[in-house]
Amino acid sequence: MEAFMLSIILSTVFLSVVLPNSAEIETISAGQQAVVDVSSGSGWIRILEDDYVCLEVSVPDGIQMKAYDANGDILCQSESGDDMILSAFTDYWFFVQLICADGCSSSSARISVEEVFSSELLSSTAVEGALGRNVMAGTYTFSPGSAGRWTFRLEGTGGTDLDLEVYSPNMSLWGSSMSLEGFETVTVSVLAGEEVTAVVSRYGKTGSGEYEFSVEPSGQFPEFDPFGITESITPGEIHRYLIPAGGSSYFLDLAILSWGADIDLMIRDTSGEYLMGSQSYSSIETLLLHPTGNDVVADVILFDTGDNETVLYEMYTREPGPLSNVVPVKEVVNIDSRSNLPVGFSSIHGGLFRISVNFEKTRDGDVRVFRGAGEPAVTFATSRGNEEFLLYVSEGETVWVDPFFADFETTGYATVRISAADAIEMEGEYSGVISGDSPAEYFTVHAEPETILDIALTGEDREVDLDLFVSGPDLDLIAEGWLSNVDAAGDEAVEVYAEDSAEYGITVYLYDRDGQTPFSLEVNRIERTPLAGPSPEPEIWAISAGISGYASSADILNRASMDAVEMYDFLIEEQGVEPDHVILLVDALATSEEFISGISSLLRSAGPEDKVIVFYSGHGDQSHPGSGGSEEPDSANEYLCLYDDDISDDRMASLIDSLAVSPVFLFFDACFSGGFVNDFSAGSNVLILTAAREDLSVSERILTPILLQGSRGDADSNGNGYVSALELMTYIDEKLQLICPECDAELSENTYVCPDCGAVLKGDNAVPRPQQGMFLIEDIELWKVR
């Protein structure tokens, strides 16, 4: 046995090679050719493909090829002059070595790459094929004439380990079979006219790779039983159910019965177009569906198995409960896994209302609120056993209050009460006490048109968890941050942009059953001010953008908009920048158009002696390899995710390069933000400070507290009363290397085990060093220390 294991290890070592530096070899894609130097006997090229296709790689006679993945493991190889077929269903990158065969006298070889088009597969008609050692995979498309269950059957006849995968029309994996025998079956539900792609892949060195492949009908397209279904799902599967058109509204629940797993629920029309979905991390996903004249399809998608090999789930419907249009309302709901009826309320005149849900024997229940078809507008999930909050209901609108237990085995009663709001009118600051006996307080605030409301909550006891909910026209937003090295558990903020005059309800509440702390609630009104004209005196121009309340509930952050307001306050109150020199964008106001036009206006206004500050806190993203230019080591663009659209690093660099005549300072508190550094170079006259490397995601609010702490004077290393650009970058770089990547705790120098979470900070789990970029023509005194 030991000798056998040793042979496997030696074989693995033998198969892996040391790859060349990717920056030193040419990269090509489908439809391109290149000439490779093989004068030393071999040469390298890198192939990139960002689509789900197979690629045919061709070279002249006398040249052999070997293809490797990014880890140096061999994928396939060809003999002299033979083509090689690569599968981009497994990866984006391929390293291809061109080797001169015996007798080859060429000093260079031309290599070309072309896309291989899929073969059409017909129902009940077997096809024969073979995957030699020079072929990674072959692909087939299938489009049925009628909806149903279809079984794809692969029978290997050449003694090779063959695997089978089936992909949806948008190339999501619908099913796979990967045994060691080469006999595989995958059954999927396909609608009439949908085109699916089947991939037959070779994973063994032995055998001829011959096979027979077919697809046959195996039953009707599953129709959802409104009384409920119970099924299990495994990785690589998707379950689909046809839901016939109905004449009434209903709630569709997907309850996850396997602990720690996560399943998402999507609804599409019969042409495959996405209609709605629920992708929370809750144990129950729920959607409200209104009557339509057309059938729809429910897709059940396994996101995370947890520690389970298979995941059990139930899916069922519930009818709406009683609907009232006058207050007070009192309804008792029997919460059972399938029978609880949500309570409806429609306001004749509109306004703010107090919602109270008390669970029997203070069981730990939660509450969803639906405003229309789709996912909940907001979900309250404290651990108190009762949920209380102010909710805005517009004139004629119908909302549904849906109590539930996240633990599907728990049952009991919940009393739902809806009454007129009895709240304190906020003006300025309010101080109070939250406790287990009095777990919530309610406030109202008026906003004038074109005003930003900065609503900030501060808890005196750092460990008592307070949260903040604001509800108003087109707004339901919870801020529920946690205890960190810079924020107390009760420090929350919600930023509201009121386009029109409006009233907003504010709820301050305790998350846990127990706990008591004094708190303060402060409301500041920030009016949008037109930008001033240029001045001959040196000035600072700035834009500060932050987004907590994204349109999708799955994207909501807790403190990103707070970051933007803190930077805004720092500029105006501590640096003396005039409000007509600063643009503040929060949440729905922070659209891509507003952000880009704001930066453009600042760059046009700023003179050579001025400074332009661009601050952003929110989501960041990284696209697929191949989206970026030669400046990107990984060939992938990075993005800032504004409220409605993304802005690429390329677009940002192009904008600054075309308009800037003054130094520009970019501060990005976002995932993958380090990738923006690659788009600037010496002489750009730009300083860019980021929260993350280009290949890493991070928690929110990583950069901002350190940035402000250094800007207020901690970065003034020479004590001259000013913080220079270089001093600030050095300070931030050092501080970010002392943040635990697992729990965000602040570390001491030379710490290799986090004292808070116990993470071992070595090897791949070592504290990453975010990317920063100093491209200013000269170091500049950026901030004056007060």
Does residue 93 carry a pLDDT above 90? Answer: no
Rounded CA separation 765/44 (Å): 32
Per-residue confidence band for 5, with pLDDT thresholds at 50, 70 and 90: very low
Structure tokens at 181: 């025998």
SS3 185: strand
Token code pair at residue 777: 């023509």
What pLDDT digit, counting tens, does each position of 602-630 carry? Answer: 999 999 999 999 999 999 998 765 544 54
Note the pLDDT of residue 92.
81
Tell me if the domain spanning 229-318 has CATH number 2.40.30.10: no
| pLDDT for 86 | 97
Dihedral sign for Cα 545, 549, 553, 557, please.
Answer: positive
Query: Which CATH code fits 540-784?
Result: 3.40.50.1460
Instruction: Report strand pairing: 343-346 vs 323-324.
Output: parallel
**Could you tell me how many helices (H) and strands (E) the chain has, helices first?**
6, 55
Of 723 and 557, the structure prediction assigns the larger pLDDT to 723
pLDDT for 657 equals 94
Tokens of 179: 């045994």
Distance, CA of 297 to CA of 414 (rounded, Å): 32
pLDDT at 695: 62
Sole residue written with tokens 């039983």: 225
Of the options 2.40.50, 2.60.120, 2.60.40, 3.40.1000, the CATH number for the domain spanning 2-116: 2.60.120
Output the six-digit token pair for 401.
């209050």
Apex 248 CA angle, 242 and 252, nearest 5: 50
Residue 740 has pLDDT above 70, yes or no: yes
**What mean pLDDT is predicted for residues 431-451?**
96
**Closest CA relative to residue 455, chosen from 490, 487, 496:** 496
**pLDDT per residue as tens digits for the range 191-249:** 999 999 999 999 877 889 999 999 999 999 999 998 899 999 998 789 999 999 988 99
What's the pLDDT tens digit per position in 560-603? 999 999 999 999 999 999 999 999 999 999 999 999 999 999 99
- For the chain, the structural domain boundaries read 2-116, 119-217, 229-318, 323-413, 424-527, 540-784
E-state strands within 101-237 = 108-116, 119-120, 127-130, 137-142, 148-156, 162-167, 173-177, 183-190, 196-202, 210-217, 229-233
Measured between its terminal Cα atoms, the distance across the chain in Å is 72
Q: Report which residue type is found at 59.
A: V
Structural tokens at position 730: 């050095």
Mean pLDDT, range 502-510, rounded to an integer: 98
Q: How would you label 196-223 residue by residue, b for 16+ Cβ within 10 Å and e otherwise? A: bbbbbbbebeebebbbebbbeeeeebbe
* Alpha carbon of residue 695 to chain centroid: 14
Q: C-alpha angle with apex 589: 585 to 595, nearest 5 degrees?
A: 60
Closest CA to 786 of 722, 704, 719, 706: 722
74 CB burial (10 A radius; 0-12, 13-18, 19+): middle
Task: Give yes or no for residue 7 having a pLDDT over 60.
Answer: no
Q: Name the DSSP letter for residue 711.
A: I
Using CA atoms, how far apart are residues 13 and 159, in angstroms rounded to an integer?
A: 25
DSSP codes, 219-273? SPPPBP-TT-EEEEE-TT-EEEEEE---SS-EEEEEEE-STT-EEEEEEEETT--
Q: In this predicted structure, what is the pLDDT of residue 154?
A: 97
Q: Which pLDDT value is given to residue 633?
A: 52
Give residue-wise pLDDT tens across range 275-293. 999 988 888 999 999 998 8
- 337 pLDDT band, cuts 50/70/90, is low
Q: Is 540-784 the same fold as 424-527?
A: no
Q: CB of 22 within 8 A of CB of 71?
A: no
- Is residue 763's pLDDT more than 80? no
Whether the pLDDT of residue 758 is over 90: the answer is: no
Q: Does domain 119-217 have CATH number 2.60.120.380?
A: yes
Q: What is the pLDDT of residue 190?
A: 95
Q: CATH code for 424-527? A: 2.60.120.380
8 A C-beta contact, residue 170 and residue 243: no
Q: Are 139 and 160 in contact (CB under 8 A)?
A: no
pLDDT of residue 430: 98
Does residue 680 contact residue 614 with C-beta atoms inside 8 Å? no
> Would you list the DSSP string of 292-330?
-SS-EEEEEEEEE-TT-SSEEEEEEEE----EE-SS-EE
Read off the pLDDT of each residue in 654-658 and give the average, rounded to a whole number: 95
Backbone angle region of 258, left / alpha / beta, with phi > 0 → left and psi within -120 to 50 → alpha: beta
Query: Mean pLDDT throughout 247-271?
Result: 93
pLDDT-derived band at 752, boundaries 50, 70, 90 = confident
Task: Tell me the pTM.
Answer: 0.85
Among 264, 135, 116, CA closest to 197: 116
Instruction: Write out the two tokens for 352.
Output: 């703010």
Q: How far is C-alpha 730 from the chain's CA centre?
A: 30
Strand-strand pairing, 343-346 and 398-404: antiparallel
